[in-house]
């Protein structure tokens, strides 16, 4: 086991070898696992003890079910009741990858401990070779919500897991920085003729419609969740992705108080274009022309606000209508509170 300096408030976190991660999971412990979206807090989905520990470590409300991870579609299919015809096309196109599917469960499912009473499960096949191999060795679905305290930003590196959870878990399997940096797109696949995007992510309606067209299923419609549909994801009613300090969403620098230091999340373009008063410091999210780069660094930058002196602000930005633009808008809206 490799040890390293404890920089976080949570205490020293063990870096696990692949074998240690597998054996910890098999002995019903919880470990942080790398995925291509964000790090997950993994526990065997059939284990009451492991699931209990995930809720405890995350301080997660008990009515919020856990997303489960499989190593391939065959493993996944052995746990669900039925899938719509379009689902196989989606899986072929997007999995392994940053897309999760909400599917119906058979009664008496062995995944019951992870489901918080739901009759559905949200499944994902992560595109991270180490993580996939861990699930394959464990040979059971691995429940893994993002590896952060409930309400806080999702970690995109082993260091961020340590900073938040410290030594409260058996360890982390370090797979390097997460490639996407935002959580998966969640698709509701419980309807036959319509796919609802329950949580926006890197994959959106354009990409999904293209797959449906290719499969000769153009009559199936795709849309973002609205109104009551948003409640389908129990986690959507909780505050999310926030730094420890309150992040205030504003329209312009004119809103800032002149008598105290301010930290301001902005795009590179805005940072370059605005005249910065001495009391305001830009914290750059990246260029509007590089949304994947903005997504990759987003949580790191939000988290960085906690380590700097000053009140935290985000100047509202129009990130555009692309899948990633909408996902970035969604996370920043939910991380912040609008003041004027
Ligand atoms: O990219 C991701 O999805 C990451 C990585 C680690 O896989 N995981 C992740 O987990 O973001 P979490 O728990 O932070 O977010 C999953 C969301 C939660 O808001 C939860 O309420 C929702 O999925 N969810 C899980 N199971 C569900 C179910 N059966 N029905 C509806 N929503 C569900
Ligand atoms: Mg989360």
How far does residue 27's CA lie from ligand 2's centre (Å)?
A: 24
User: What percentage of the chain reaches a pLDDT higher than 70?
Assistant: 96
Residue 53 has pLDDT above 50, yes or no: yes
Pocket test for ligand 1, best of 36, 235, 241, 335 (most atoms within 8 A of CB): 235
Ligand number with the minimum distance to the CA of 182: 1
- How far is residue 76's CA from residue 51's CA, in Å, rounded to a whole number? 19
Looking at ligand 1, which atom is closest to the CA of residue 64?
Answer: 21
How far does residue 38's CA lie from ligand 1's centre (Å)?
A: 12
Residue 6 has pLDDT above 50, yes or no: no
- Judged on CB neighbours under 10 Å (0-12, 13-18, 19+), 231 is exposed
Pocket test for ligand 1, best of 31, 66, 67, 150 (most atoms within 8 A of CB): 67
How far does residue 235's CA lie from ligand 2's centre (Å)?
A: 8
pLDDT attached to residue 10: 57
- How far is residue 56's CA from residue 54's CA, in Å, rounded to a whole number? 5
Ligand number with the minimum distance to the CA of 238: 1
Mind listing the pLDDT tens digit for each residue in 217-269?
999 999 999 988 888 888 888 878 888 999 999 999 999 999 999 999 999 99
How far does residue 4's CA lie from ligand 1's centre (Å)?
A: 30
Residue 70 has pLDDT above 50, yes or no: yes
**Under a CB-based contact definition with an 8 Å cutoff, are residues 190 and 120 in contact?**
yes
How far does residue 233's CA lie from ligand 1's centre (Å)?
A: 8
What is the greatest pairwise CA distance in the chain? 62
- Residue from 54, 141, 147, 60 nearest 105 by CA: 141
How far does residue 236's CA lie from ligand 2's centre (Å)?
A: 10
Looking at per-residue pLDDT, the higher value among 234 and 89 belongs to 89
pLDDT attached to residue 240: 82
Mean pLDDT of 165-170: 92
SS3 labels along the chain: CECCCCCCCCCCCCECCHHHHHHHHHCCCCEEECCCCCCEEEEECCCHHHHHHHHHHHCCCCCCCCCEECCCHHHHHCCCCECCHHHHHHHHHHCCCCEEEEEECCCCCCCHHHCCCCCEEEEECCCCHHHHHHHHHHCCCEECCECCCCCECCCCCHHHHHHHHHHHCCCECCCCCCCCCCCCEEEECCCCCEEEEEECCCCCHHHHHHHHHHCCCCCCEEEECCHHHHHHCHHHHCCCCECCCCEEEECCHHHCCCCCCEEEEECHHHHHHCCCCCCEEEEECCCCCCHHHHHHHHHHHHHHHHHCCCEEEEECCCCCCCHHHHHHHHHHHHHEEECC
Residue 88 has pLDDT above 70, yes or no: yes
**Under a CB-based contact definition with an 8 Å cutoff, are residues 262 and 280 in contact?**
yes
Mean pLDDT of 295-323: 96
The residues, any chain, with a CB within 8 Å of residue 191's CB and separated by 6 or more, are: 84
pLDDT attached to residue 114: 98
Q: Which residues line ligand 1 (CB under 6 A)?
A: 35, 37-38, 40, 64-65, 67, 100, 102, 115, 118, 120-122, 124, 126, 144-146, 183-184, 186, 232-236
Ligand number with the minimum distance to the CA of 33: 1
Residue 38 has pLDDT above 50, yes or no: yes
How far does residue 222's CA lie from ligand 1's centre (Å)?
A: 20
How far does residue 270's CA lie from ligand 2's centre (Å)?
A: 29
Closest-CA residue, ligand 1 atom 21, reads 235
Residue 9 has pLDDT above 70, yes or no: no
Looking at ligand 1, which atom is closest to the CA of residue 232?
Answer: 31
Ligand number with the minimum distance to the CA of 230: 1
- How far is residue 34's CA from residue 43's CA, in Å, rounded to a whole number? 13
Strands of the sheet containing 262-266, edge to edge, are: 280-284, 262-266, 311-315, 247-250, 336-338
Ligand number with the minimum distance to the CA of 98: 1
- How far is residue 336's CA from residue 264's CA, in Å, rounded to a whole number? 12
Mean model confidence pLDDT for the chain: 94
Mean pLDDT of 151-166: 96
Q: What pairs with residue 280 in β-bridges?
A: 262
Residue 4 has pLDDT above 90, yes or no: no
Looking at ligand 1, which atom is closest to the CA of residue 114?
Answer: 26
> Could you count the other beta carbons within 10 Å of the beta carbon of residue 260?
10
Closest-CA residue, ligand 1 atom 18, reads 235
User: What percentage of the chain reaches a pLDDT higher than 90?
Assistant: 90
pLDDT attached to residue 242: 87
């Amino acid at each position: 086991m490799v040890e390293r300096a404890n920089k976080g408030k949570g205490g020293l976190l063990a870096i696990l070898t692949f074998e240690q991660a597998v054996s910890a999971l098999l002995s019903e412990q919880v470990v942080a696992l790398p995925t291509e979206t964000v790090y997950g807090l993994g526990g065997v989905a059939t284990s009451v003890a492991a699931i209990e520990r995930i809720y405890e470590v995350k301080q997660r409300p008990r009515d919020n079910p856990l997303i489960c991870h499989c190593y391939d579609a065959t493993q996944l299919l052995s746990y669900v009741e039925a899938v719509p015809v379009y689902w196989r096309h989606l899986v072929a196109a997007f999995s392994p990858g940053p897309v999760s599917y909400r599917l119906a469960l058979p009664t008496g499912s062995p995944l019951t401990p992870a489901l918080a009473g739901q009759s559905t499960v949200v499944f994902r096949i992560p595109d991270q070779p180490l993580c996939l191999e861990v699930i394959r060795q464990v040979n059971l679905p691995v429940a893994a919500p993002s590896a952060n305290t409930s309400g806080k930003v999702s970690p995109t590196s082993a260091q961020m897991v340590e900073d938040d959870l410290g030594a409260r878990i058996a360890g982390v399997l370090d797979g390097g920085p997460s490639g996407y940096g935002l959580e998966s797109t969640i698709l509701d696949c419980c309807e036959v003729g319509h796919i609802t995007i329950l949580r926006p992510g890197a994959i959106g309606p354009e990409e999904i419609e293209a797959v449906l067209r290719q499969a000769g299923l153009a009559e199936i419609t795709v849309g973002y969740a609205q109104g009551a549909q948003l409640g389908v994801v129990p986690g959507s009613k909780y505050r999310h992705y926030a730094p420890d300090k309150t992040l205030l969403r504003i329209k312009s620098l004119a809103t800032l108080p002149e008598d105290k230091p301010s930290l301001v999340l902005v795009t590179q373009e805005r940072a370059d274009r605005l005249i910065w008063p001495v009391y305001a410091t830009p914290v750059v999210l990246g260029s509007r022309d590089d949304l994947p780069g903005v997504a990759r660094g987003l949580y790191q930058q939000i988290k960085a606000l906690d380590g700097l002196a000053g009140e935290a602000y985000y100047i509202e930005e129009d990130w555009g209508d692309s899948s990633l633009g909408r996902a970035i808008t969604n996370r920043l809206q939910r991380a912040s509170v609008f003041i004027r």
